Structure formats: C-alpha cells, structure tokens
Structure 1
Amino acid sequence: MKSFHSKLFRTYSIMIGLILACLGLVLGQLFPIYAKNASEKVINIKLEELSKDLATTGLTGDEQRDISETIATSFYQAEMLEPHSLWIFLFIILAVTFLIALFLGSSIFKKYAQPIEHLTETAMELARGNYRIRAFEDEFSGMSKLSNSINILARSLHDISVMRETEKERLKTLIENMGSALIMIDRNGYITIVNRSFLKQLDISFKDVDGKLFNKIGLPKKIEDFIDQLFLTEASSREQISIKKNIHTYYMDAYGAPVIGEHGKWLGIVIVMHEVTELVKLEQVRKDFVANVSHELKTPVTSIKGFSETLLYGAYKNEETLLSFLEIIHKESNRLQMLINDLLDLSKVEQVGYEVDLQKVNLLDVVARSKEMTSHIVEEKNMRLEIISEEPVFVLGDLNRLIQITMNLLMNALTYSPEDKTVTITISQTKKCGVIRIQDEGIGIAKEEINRVFERFYRVDRARSRNSGGTGLGLAIVKHLVEAHHGLLEVDSEVGKGTVFTVSIPLVKR
C-alpha cells in the first residue's frame, strides 16, 4: 500500500508535467512568430546600414538593389532559426524547469506531507488500541502543536487503558478468590462469568460451563429452578437450597439479582451462593440442645414437684413414705445439680480462648486417682480394672482436667459394660505424646454413631445412661478439654465387642 507522501508527490509530479506540457505547446506556437518578428527587425536595421554604405560606393541603383537583395537573403538564412532547433531548445528549458519543480516539490512535501503521514499512521495505531505509540515532535515541520496534542491524547488513552486493565485484573482476582460461589448469566441464558468457588462447590470444570446454556451443564435441579424463577420475575430473590452429593447433603444460601445496564437495559442475572452447611448444622444442634436441656431439666423438676406436692397433701404423715419420697427428691436434686454443673463446665470449656493450667503431670498419677474414685462401681458390678504401664509418662497438662477426662471415659466404660467384664487402661508414649488408652468389653457403638458421641446430650443407650446418673454432656466436655491441651481424642468401636477411647497429650519438652 502506497504512502500518503508517495501518492501526493506523484499527483504533484503529474500536475507539474501537465502544466509544463501545456505551456510547451503554447510556447511552441508563439515562440516562432516572436522569433521571426525579432529577426526581421534585426535584418531591416542591418539592411538600412548596408544601403547607406552602398550609396557611397558610386554603384548604380540596380546594382545596389541586387547586392541588397542578395545580402538580405543571406541575413534571413542566418538569423532565422530552424523549427527543430527551436523545439529542442524549448524542450530543454521545460525539462530543466520540470526537474527544478520536482526538487522543490520534494523538499516541500518532505517538510509538510511526511509529518502529516506520520501523524495519520499514529492516529490509526491509536484507533487500533496501540496506546504506546508516539508522534515525532518537530518544531520546524509546522506540525508540532498537532503532534503534541496527539501525544497528549496517546498518553491519556494509555493511562486510561492501564487503569482499566488494573481494575479488570482486580475485579478478576476478587471474583476468582472470593469464598462465595458466583455465576453470571446473560439474558439469553448463556454463562458469562463463573468463579473457582462455584466450580469447586458443584464439582465441575471451567470448560464444561464456559459460554454454555445454564440448563445444559448439569446443575442441581433446585439451582436451575432458582435461576428460572429469577428470569421469570426479573427481581431479586433469596433462597436456601439443599444439594445432595453422594451420601451427604449440603446447604447453600443463594442470592440472585438482575443485572441492569445503561438506560435500564436488562442484561441478565448474577447469583452469589454461600455454603451454610455448618451454620445449618449448628442451628440444628442449638435446637436439639434447647430441646434436650428442656427435657433433661423437666424430668428431675417434675419428680421433685410431684413428690413434694404429694407430701404436702398429707403423705408426710407416713414416716416410711416420707423417707422414700425425700430420698427420691434428694436423688433428683443431685441429678439436677450435676446437670447444671456440667452445663456450666461445658459453657466454660467452649469459650474462645479457654486455657488450662499446664504443668508437668505423670499420667500414672492421673489414672491412679481416677481408679480410686471409681472403685465403688467396679466392686458393685464385680468388674476388673487393669492398668498397663511400663514406665512413668510425663505430659504437659492440667492435673485436675486430665483426671476429669479420664474419669468421664472410665465412667462410660464401666456404665456400658456388663457385670464381670474387664476394663483395661494402657499408658504409653509416642515420640511427641503421652497416650491413655481405655478399652472396655461393653455394648459397643455403631459406625454411623461414632461421630455423634461427642454431641451434647447424645447417648448410645439413653435408658442405661440416665439410670447411671449421666447427663449426656461428659464426652462433649472431654472433647473440648482434650483440644484445650492441644491433644487428640480417637474412638474405635465394634458393636457387641466393646469400645476403645484413646487420648494423646503432648509430652513435656526436655
């Protein structure tokens, strides 16, 4: 593609050539006439001078006339130019004039046309999005102001482009790294934006969704229904959606809203989803906790109220009945007190920042104290309590809290084991932890219930637990106390064969 300068110079050359050609044709017609008239004037002057000279020679008139005619003929032949010589002379003049015009035109175009061409190319590059290009600023070209203006425009466009790219990158980073799932769908139902959280939570890849219809990528039906509702109503909406994945159920808090562009144009919808599975579970735990506390409090309060009313209505007159009822009221009062104490304990250990009094503790002392406090139950059920330990194991812990942990686990083992069975406590250590392992030969725990045994008020055998005086909060307290020691609590069980609780507490650093 020829440049603007080349095109302009070629046009200029053609125009100059045409002008000179026309001028040559005109001069070719006028110059011979002018030359003839000039030659005749010169010849006439010379002939007049010759006539004067001949008059002094004494020749006759005829002789003088013949001589004058002969000389005049010679003058005409000598002074008059031949036509081809005239054309050659004229061509040379025009050619030289043409070359001079080309030289001057080239200089002028180089000074003015080339800067314009360069500015045009710069403007075209800016239009194509190349904001780094700059125009050459030459104060002698006469285009310095225009060049400076274009460069200012280029710098402004470059700054705007950089700012837009920065904002775009920030927005992309924000969308990609936000914890909530996000999806944007245009007015035709095609997916335009989707982030990593959305892909991860729904277990799909980017290539499966990019530029595809939302109802063709295998979204859960409840999410598709939610999207359909947004398209139908074109209004903001919020809904909690449950999604089943394998054997688990996940809960999503979905918020959808229409995307409105300039002039109120409806562009599509955007949906943000937060996983609230844990919140739903916590809410359910809270509801269960309130229900369980109410139930656990209701039983002893009802007993105390019922027996005390009976006594007030006259049963106190019978000494045997009075004693029996008072024993029941005392028992239920103790149970109520135990429940309240456990609730207070649990509330304390569940607080953020709860700390235990860490010191050097021998696990043998912990187990010995626990054995002493449960000896009456072992004797009542005719059971055996074996302690296996090769050497003292010192851990960094709170003596009283470690005794509470061991006592709770040991009480569970004794409660859920039949008579004439053995409970074994093994003390050992690993490279980093001291370990207490409590194994019973009781009823065991089903696999599906193992993860729930640390929930508040959860009981494997409710009747047996309540009869033993338990509140259902012991294992929940144990779990939090072990965590406060930066330890680990593990459970292994088999129905009908027994259960093993393993507590690992960090060793004292030497």
Structure 2
Amino acid sequence: MNQNWHGTLIRHMLLLVTGCLVIGLITGYYGWSLAAGLGLYLAWTLKQLLRLHEWLRLHQPDEAPPDGYGLWGEVFDSIYHLQRRDQRVRGRLQAVIDRVQESTAALKDAVIMLDSDGNLEWWNRAAETLLGLKTPQDSGQPVTNLVRHPRFKEYFEQESYAEPLEIPSPTNDRVRIQLYLTRYGNNEHLMLVRDVTRIHQLEQMRKDFIANVSHELRTPLTVICGYLETLLDNVEEVNPRWSRALQQMQQQGGRMQTLLNDLLLLAKLEATDYPSDNQPVHIGTLLQSIKSDAQQLSGSKNQKITLEADTSILLKGSEAELRSAFSNLVFNAVKYTPAEGNIRIRWWGDDQGAHLSVQDSGIGIDSKHLPRLTERFYRVDSSRNSNTGGTGLGLAIVKHVLLRHRARMEISSVPGHGSTFTCHFAPAQVAQARVISAAE
C-alpha cells in the first residue's frame, strides 16, 4: 500500500511489453504479440473492475473487499484499510451517541429534537411521561398534532422563544409543564420540557393568600374609612388637635384601599389566560377618554399632552382591562413629568401588529432598574413613589393585561430626558374598523 502506484504501473507495463516482444521475437509476429498481450491485460483489468463494482453493489456493511493481485491488490487493500478506519470512526461516534442517549434518558426533564418543519426526530424517556409520546409510532409526526394546547401552537409558530411557556401536561391536567424552545442547525428545534407542578402550586398558594387577605382586609378597612369620613364631616365637633391626625388617617386609609383594589385586580387577571369579554375595542376612542382624564390629573402643571391614533385599527380584547393598562402608563407619565413637560401618546399599526407608545419628558429611569420595573412593589425611588401616591403595582398590572392580550412591553429611558413605554400587540389581536363595520 505504501509503494508508488505510478512506478508499479510503469514496471508492470514494461514487463508486459518486454514479454510480448520476446514472444514476437520467437514467433516473428511482433505486432500481433503486442496486441494480444495488451488485450489480455485489458481483459484482466476489466475483470478486476467488474469484481470491484459487484462488491460495491452487493457487499454487506462489514464484508471485506475481494482479493486481488498486482495493482488491483493494492487497490483492494487500500479499500480494506479505509473500511476498517471508517468502522473505527463510526464505532467512536456510536459510543458518543450512546453516552448522550444514556445521559439524556436519565434526565427527569424531557428532551425532544424536531426538524425544521416541527416533526419529531428523537426524544428521551421523560418525554413519554410528560408529553405522552410513543416510540416508534410518533416518530416523524408534527409536534403540534401531539401537543394540542392552543397556546403551544401559538408559541411554536412565533419567531422568538425568549420566554418559556407553561401549560398543563397532555397526559395529566394536574401536572404543569414548562417548555423551552431553541433553534439550532438548519432551522431545527430543540425542545426542553420540565415538570413545574410544585412551583405552580406554590405560586397558586401565594396568589390565593394575597387574594384572600385582600378580601378579608377590605371590609374592616371600609368600616374604618367610613367612620373617618363621618368624623371629618363633623370636624367642628371634634377636638382641633385631632383634625390633622384624622386627615392623615383618611389619606393613608385611601392609599390602603387603592392597594387592596390593585391586588384584587391582579388576582383577577391571574385567574385566567384570556379575557372573558374578548371583543373588538375602538382604541382611538379609548385613548381620547384617557387623555381627557390625564388633562384633569395634570391640573396646574400645564403639561402638553398630544394624541396620535389610527382610528381604523381596533384591538380584540377586554376594554376594561385595556383601559386599566393604558391609563396606568399615561397617568404615570403625568405624575413623573414636571410642569410644562410634554407627553406624547401614539397608536399605530404595521406588518408586525399594532403598537401603543407613551413618551414623556420626565425625570427618566436608570437603565439598571428597567428589567425589574414590572415586578410587584418594585420601587425605583421609594420617596418619589410615596410623594406621588403609587402602590408599586401599576406596571405589574400593565404586564399581566398585556400577557392576556398576547402582547409585550418595551421600555426605554434616559435619566433626565424622559421615558418611552411601548406596547406591541401581535397581528392576531388586531382588527380593522372597516371589517367590523362591514360585518355589522
């Protein structure tokens, strides 16, 4: 195999020609001897070539190539060594694959590989428990045919998988699963599924606790505020020294009632995934009403509030919830924008869906606070919030309303130059006014 094939071929041809010339010298027919010798060599070469072709066509995976002589023996030996090397490489690769499959089979989390069209290619044993996949009959099936939850279909078809999806397990409604999707290779998908039932139960206990406490506190707080209001209505009969104390008590009681109302609203928003009154909402009219309320809230601050709205774009959802979210954004802009400041409200649509932006020229927010703004009770500046009377729940309410309406919020802000809150709604949530009117 290590010989010079070109040299070997030349030596063979020289020996053949010499033999033919010797035979020609004996017989006296040099031309015919040379032609006969070359013909025999060509026939032998074609025979070896046919043997190679037959072996390539019919050989078993581990079957060695046929024996040969001379140059063809070198060819067959080279093929044999390549075959052995390929078997060693395949053996190492198979060992790696086996180890990966053994390690993933030991995972409690499900691992599913999907092709570019979303068809099942491979999964581990945990996927059979959490998703009910069956081997081998489900191989090649679209994953959306086996995981039929409507939210999963929407999640799978979207372009971004930055956030995981939590849904009930297809095999057991009492089991909650969390799905992560990642793209790799040629637009293929890797899906990870984990059991989050315990976390979901703890979260549900927290929600129930907050809702129950809020309900229980509402009645005594209403009684206390009612008596305080009665006392202040008859303030002339009360000792003057108690007048200021009663006013402060009433103010703080009002803040507590606002806080309880926000907590109850959050509990209601978290109770279901979709709004019950999912109807087309005229956002232009809704924003005009919120703008009028914002002008009254601004009062003597003399802020310039402008509204630009495409009235032909309607939004499918709950008008009450959308009013709560949009008014939170606009009223926050009024609270944190100084006198003579500018507030711009825009509502428009494009190929990506519909969008609402609330831009102000207020005090702005440091970038380190932006990722946590929608957390409950998170305060950028506690003293500022106490002065404005905020509960720390406004943006949390906005976040939950947007989630229920298949939307997301983008926040950009520069300290000292104002902030912009933009809500992006998916095309599926958008309705055109002319379509609604034609249907009516």
TM class, shorter-chain normalised?
Answer: 0.3 to 0.5
TM-score by length of structure 2 reads 0.46
Larger RCO: 1 or 2 (CA < 8 Å, sep 6+): 2
